[in-house]
Amino acid sequence: MSFGCKCGGELNSKLDALLDRYRGQPSALIQVLHQAQELYGYLPRKVLQRVAGALNVPLSQVYGVVSFYSFFTIHPKGKHQISVCKGTACYVRGAGQLLDRIKEELGLKPGETTEDGQFSLEVVRCLGACGLGPVITVDEDVHARVQPERMSDILAAYRQ
Amino acid sequence: MELYRAHVLVCAGAGCISSGCQAVKSALEESIDRLGLKREVKVVETGCMGPCDLGPVIVVYPEGVFYRQLKPADAVEIAEEHLLKGRVVERLLYKAPEDGKTAVTSDQIDFFKKQTRIALRNTGIINPESVEEYIARDGYRALGKVLTSMTPEEVIECIKKSGLRGRGGAGFPTGLKWEFSAKAPGKPKYVVCNADEGDPGAFMDRSILEGDPHSVLEAMAICGYAIGANQGYVYVRAEYPLAVQRLSLAIEKAREYGLLGENIFGTGFSFDVEIRVGAGAFVCGEETALLASIEGRRGEPRPRPPFPAQEGLWGKPTVINNVETWANIPPIILKGPEWFASIGTEKSKGTKVFALAGKVNNTGLVEVPMGTTLREIIFDIGGGIPGGKQFKAAQTGGPSGGCIPARYLDVPVDYESLTQLGAIMGSGGLIIMDEDTCMVDLARFFLEFVQDESCGKCSPCRIGTKRMLEIVERITRGEGRDGDIELLEELGQGIKSSALCGLGQTAPNPVLSTIRHFREEYEAHIYHKKCPAGVCRALMVYAIDEEKCNGCGRCALVCPAKAISGEKKKPHRIDLEKCLRCGTCMEKCKFGAIYTI
Ligand SMILES: Cc1cc2nc3c(=O)[nH]c(=O)nc-3n(C[C@H](O)[C@H](O)[C@H](O)COP(=O)(O)O)c2cc1C
Ligand code: SF4
Ligand code: SF4
Ligand code: SF4
Ligand code: FES
Ligand code: FES
């Protein structure tokens, strides 16, 4: 095993280990996809083929599952992941206007990534901080009570 | 096991995380280290303690001193004063907004005083990573009692007698469900915990898992004994990584202590639990979809009957209950069904946990006896509506539920009364709305949600809700027509009676209930092209207040329609023919001169 190097080789050997653990267990599909996505950041076709083979699930069924669950993505994501909460509590506190502002600032629709690969935008339903809406997360950071005017500053902090 | 002189519980619920509890915790830990207290004081993260808007909050035990709204520097002071010298830091205690009275411990605060905590008995009080602390508060005693002194039939009888009903939304009697599974032929049987918590704006289940994971494990094992199952699954949504982590640790510890696994308490009974993580599909909260998802498939519901109690996971009898339902089980076993049944109303026993949010002063997690009035929850516990605004309505049950308008504030909150009002108890989301919320827009919001989340398997839900959404959108754009309200009602009833699963069957509720209680608001949109709450942008009329306008010209500069004109330093005006109602000018005016009618 190679140390420290984040090259394809290391990822692939981790995937091998993962698949070995669940070989021949179709019911583990969702759990395996979770871990594979954690490794690669998304689910490339090659990985899905290997998952299908190892768990003994038809590839079409693997795609069926991947497309059904919004958590899985077959496209690489941007460097920074913006999640805007559009749960009820945030909505009544102005999440709609906030989302409009972010879309405008980045020229993005939810589910898209900016051309420079900096930001991906997605809408989520409740981050569990309902008392402090509207709430967004950028990567691991939670921003609470976000007024639309604050958005440019928040985004600028992540831009390089 | 190490013994500590003091524990500091740092709330690490999502609310406190977003108000900065991690920095507070680091500062606390650094100070404890620096003061050489590391072997005496232990810092622990808990699930949401309840009063999220006071975050970051911490509690110092053994005294139970409650500190709120902390900054990292405050944490340093608490370490130096309280932890080292034993002096409570007065200035960081909670002060009641009405009379300025200081509360040292949380039970002196109104927000907590009016609550009865059964499901939340340990949440925010014990270290969720310590099985010892759970045990010290009677943890696993109920399991011991069941395994050593009760027959499976007696356990089921006890739960039936308690009157406990499912807290996941539908309110089905829990004991009865267990009995069905126990009697159903087929082996092995399974026990499942529904921790998918899909209602957007609710976080009760998450807090229990993060704050008291063992209570759910213990309850599942009790059920396993009662119905003859040896395997349990907890299905948690992917958005809750801390809950997953806490639960994994709890399972590991419970196995280590022989509280899960083979031959529990040497009684020959074996039971184990595994976690399954969801992947972001609201419909997976529906029980048949959830079971499909545990099996690794697309989470599409299937018709019931057969119910999971008869044919569930892999076609075998399966009891599936909600997290909060599970958390009620151990106290019922220990204190007896009569005790539990003495709390609440005639048909709704015990308590209910609510996630109180929206336009209310004290947002957070509250647990109250069934039958408490909305007024008590919103005004006594919740501290009323901020900014001197009027209470307009409360929303329960999320996308499956409805609104309760102000004239019903004194209705007791229980399953039957809420259903009568066209709302439902739901899983516990309680969103408070003031005069600034447009009910038509709210209906649109929920329809959009169901449209996103419909699995698409049956057409009444997939196509019917789309039609409803189109109509409501039209109304909010000012293009509503005579007959739209009736059409919505008709479509709604049709979908309710023909959709395959609960998602579709309840999807029209937010529309039907807002029509029922706020019909005049729909009419204002349709016939007068007005949004009384001033939310629907297309229906707003923008105007400039001549008194306030100083003619700076900023608005004219940003207006995309060139609808604003005026001489420099003279009041400007808006040409309503050209105005697109985009609101940009209002945002940009620094003098608050632009208003809407
Ligand atoms: C669309 C839909 C979503 C649901 N989401 C949840 C959920 O997130 N959590 C939950 O406990 N029950 C949810 N339910 C209810 C479950 O189907 C089921 O009734 C419940 O888990 C049974 O547990 P209980 O009797 O303890 O409430 C949902 C139902 C429907 C129709
Ligand atoms: S009612 Fe909606 S969510 Fe339920 S099965 Fe039909 S399409 Fe799917
Ligand atoms: S921005 Fe405000 S103050 Fe300036 S011209 Fe427009 S309305 Fe008047
Ligand atoms: S609302 Fe938009 S279009 Fe209308 S006047 Fe203001 S900036 Fe111009
Ligand atoms: S609704 Fe946004 S955090 Fe819950
Ligand atoms: S998250 Fe800390 S009190 Fe709710």
Write the CATH number for B98.
3.40.30.10
The ipTM estimated for the assembled molecules is 0.87
> pLDDT digits over A10-61, tens only?
888 999 999 999 999 999 999 999 999 999 989 999 999 999 999 999 999 9
**Cα B315 to averaged position of ligand 2 atoms, centre (Å):** 21
Residue A20, in any domain of the structure:
yes
Q: How confident is the model at residue B127 (pLDDT cuts 50, 70, 90)?
A: confident
Cα-based distances in Å from B495 to B62, B490, B511, B556: 55, 9, 12, 48
Q: Is A82 on the interface with B (CB under 8 A)?
A: no
Residue A25, in any domain of the structure:
yes
Q: How close A141 gets to chain B, by Cα (Å)?
A: 8
Residue B579 pLDDT exceeds 70: yes
**In this complex, which of B15, B355, B398 lies closest to A132 when CB atoms are compared?**
B15
**Cα B60 to averaged position of ligand 1 atoms, centre (Å):** 36
Shared domain for A113 and A64, answered yes or no, is no
Q: What chain B residue is nearest to A68 in terms of C-alpha separation?
A: B298
What is the pLDDT of chain B when averaged over all its residues? 93
Residue A60, in any domain of the structure:
yes
Residue owning the nearest CA to atom 2 of ligand 4: B582
Shared domain for B29 and B90, answered yes or no, is yes
Return the percentage of chain B with pLDDT > 90, whole number. Answer: 78
Shared domain for B259 and B286, answered yes or no, is yes
Residue B118, in any domain of the structure:
no
> pLDDT digits over B443-473, tens only?
999 999 999 899 999 999 999 999 999 999 9
Residue B155, in any domain of the structure:
yes
DSSP sequence for B328-391: HHHHHHHH-HHHHHTSB-SSSBSEEEEEEEES-SS-EEEEEETT-BHHIIIIIIT---GGGPPE
Residue B510 pLDDT exceeds 90: yes
Residue B40, in any domain of the structure:
yes
Specify the range with the lowest mean pLDDT, choosing from B106-110, B365-369, B520-524: B106-110
A7 is in an annotated binding site: no
How many domains, chain B? 5
Cβ(B234) to ligand 4 under 6 A? no
Residue B532, in any domain of the structure:
no
Residue B210, in any domain of the structure:
yes
Residue B2 pLDDT exceeds 80: no
Shared domain for A47 and A101, answered yes or no, is no
Q: How close B262 gets to chain A, by Cα (Å)?
A: 23
Cα-based distances in Å from B163 to A18, B346, B491: 45, 9, 36
Shared domain for A63 and A99, answered yes or no, is no
Shared domain for A107 and A147, answered yes or no, is yes
How many domains, chain A? 2
Q: How confident is the model at residue B597 (pLDDT cuts 50, 70, 90)?
A: confident
In the predicted model, what is the mean pLDDT of residues B220-226?
A: 98
pTM of the model: 0.90
In the predicted model, what is the mean pLDDT of residues B213-224?
A: 98
Q: Which pLDDT value is given to residue A159? A: 85
**Cα B14 to averaged position of ligand 6 atoms, centre (Å):** 7
Q: What chain B residue is nearest to A73 in terms of C-alpha separation?
A: B279
Shared domain for B98 and B140, answered yes or no, is no
Residue A6 pLDDT exceeds 60: no
In the predicted model, what is the mean pLDDT of residues B21-44?
A: 94
Shared domain for B424 and B454, answered yes or no, is no
Q: How close B5 gets to chain A, by Cα (Å)?
A: 32
Q: Which pLDDT value is given to residue A8? A: 64
> pLDDT digits over B302-338, tens only?
998 999 999 999 999 999 999 999 999 999 999 999 9
> Does residue B560 or residue B175 have the better pLDDT?
B175
> pLDDT digits over B346-391, tens only?
999 999 999 999 999 998 999 999 999 999 999 999 999 998 899 9
Domain hosting residue A55, numbered range: 8-68
Shared domain for B303 and B417, answered yes or no, is no
CATH number of the domain at B580, please: 3.30.70.20
Shared domain for A104 and A141, answered yes or no, is yes
Q: What chain A residue is nearest to B300 in terms of C-alpha separation?
A: A68
Residue B293 pLDDT exceeds 70: yes
Shared domain for A39 and A86, answered yes or no, is no
Taking an 8 Å cut-off on Cβ atoms, the answer to whether A30 and B240 are in contact is no
Q: What chain A residue is nearest to B357 in terms of C-alpha separation?
A: A131
Shared domain for A63 and A37, answered yes or no, is yes
**Cα B462 to averaged position of ligand 2 atoms, centre (Å):** 7
Q: How confident is the model at residue B561 (pLDDT cuts 50, 70, 90)?
A: confident
CATH number of the domain at A119, please: 3.40.30.10
In the predicted model, what is the mean pLDDT of residues B213-235?
A: 98
Q: Which pLDDT value is given to residue A5? A: 43
Shared domain for A88 and A108, answered yes or no, is yes
Shared domain for B163 and B103, answered yes or no, is no
| Burial class of residue A4 in the structure, from the number of CB atoms within 10 Å of its CB (0-12 exposed, 13-18 middle, 19+ buried) | exposed
Ligand lying nearest the CA atom of residue B591? 3
Shared domain for B518 and B400, answered yes or no, is no
Cβ neighbours of residue A23 closer than 8 Å, sequence gap 6 or more: A54, A55
Shared domain for A119 and A60, answered yes or no, is no
Shared domain for B400 and B546, answered yes or no, is no
A5 is in an annotated binding site: no
Residue B141 pLDDT exceeds 60: yes
Taking an 8 Å cut-off on Cβ atoms, the answer to whether A129 and B15 are in contact is yes
Of B48, B87, B91, B86, give the one whose Cα is nearest residue B73.
B91
Q: How confident is the model at residue A3 (pLDDT cuts 50, 70, 90)?
A: very low
Domain hosting residue B60, numbered range: 6-111
| Burial class of residue A68 in the structure, from the number of CB atoms within 10 Å of its CB (0-12 exposed, 13-18 middle, 19+ buried) | buried
CATH number of the domain at B392, please: 3.10.20.600
Residue A43, in any domain of the structure:
yes
Cβ(B455) to ligand 2 under 6 A? yes
**In this complex, which of A69, A130, A148 lies closest to B280 when CB atoms are compared?**
A69
Residue A99, in any domain of the structure:
yes
CATH number of the domain at B463, please: 1.20.1440.230
In the predicted model, what is the mean pLDDT of residues B49-66?
A: 91
Specify the range with the lowest mean pLDDT, choosing from B122-126, B289-293, B434-438, B564-568: B122-126
Residue owning the nearest CA to atom 30 of ligand 1: B286
Residue A2, in any domain of the structure:
no
A126 is in an annotated binding site: yes
Shared domain for B322 and B215, answered yes or no, is yes
Token pair, residue A157, equals 């902090």
In the predicted model, what is the mean pLDDT of residues A81-87?
A: 91
Shared domain for B470 and B396, answered yes or no, is no
How many CB atoms lie under 10 A from the CB of residue B591? Answer: 13
Shared domain for A90 and A129, answered yes or no, is yes
Shared domain for B199 and B336, answered yes or no, is yes
Shared domain for A89 and A115, answered yes or no, is yes
Residue A2 pLDDT exceeds 50: no
Shared domain for B168 and B284, answered yes or no, is yes
Cβ(B46) to ligand 2 under 6 A? no
Q: Which pLDDT value is given to residue A97? A: 87
Task: State which of B434, B460, B475 marks the end of a domain.
Answer: B434
Shared domain for A86 and A151, answered yes or no, is yes
> Does residue B579 or residue A50 have the better pLDDT?
A50
Q: How close A89 gets to chain B, by Cα (Å)?
A: 5
Residue B149 pLDDT exceeds 90: yes
Q: Which pLDDT value is given to residue A1? A: 37
The DSSP output letter for B58 is E
- Which residues have CB under 6 Å of ligand 1? B 166-170, 172, 194, 196-198, 283, 285-287, 320-322, 325, 427, 501-503
Residue B1, in any domain of the structure:
no
The number of angstroms, rounded, from the C-alpha of B350 to the middle of its chain's C-alpha atoms is: 18
